[in-house]
Amino acid sequence: MAKTKTLNSLIHSLAHSYFSTLNYWDGGYMSDWIVNAASELGMDEVKVDVLEKRISPKEMEIKPLLYYLDSLPPIIAKTLKNNDLPSDFITEARFEITISENRLMHCDGYAKGINERIYKSKPYSEQSFETFKAFNQSLK
């Protein structure tokens, strides 16, 4: 029988994977890239569409941030399979990231099912320590 209760933790699992120390790119982890890029743009909020592999603002769609988004849909697929749900059950998965002045990143978000239900989990937080220029023409 299909179980949807465990989908409440899906976004946290996706954030934990995306911001993992396994996802390192030329000088920083994904939290460093998000914080540095947003800082350069004068932004303190970033949105990520996990399924469409889109980042808002669009200027944030740089290679280091987009590259590791490819690892997230298989996590969704495995979660759905393990819960006896159809592979197209999740219709939206989004990160809503806010960045504080002390470089602390909070990633909240949600997943939406074909049943129109919103699945939310506890926010994921990560401290950024590495400061570097995120925008370079060779990264686009």
Q: What percentage of residues in the chain have a pLDDT greater than 70?
A: 96
pLDDT tens for residues 50-88?
999 999 999 999 999 999 999 999 999 999 999 999 999
- Closest of 99, 104, 25, 97 to residue 62, by C-alpha: 25
Residue 18 clears pLDDT 60, i.e. is over it: yes
Question: pTM here?
Answer: 0.91
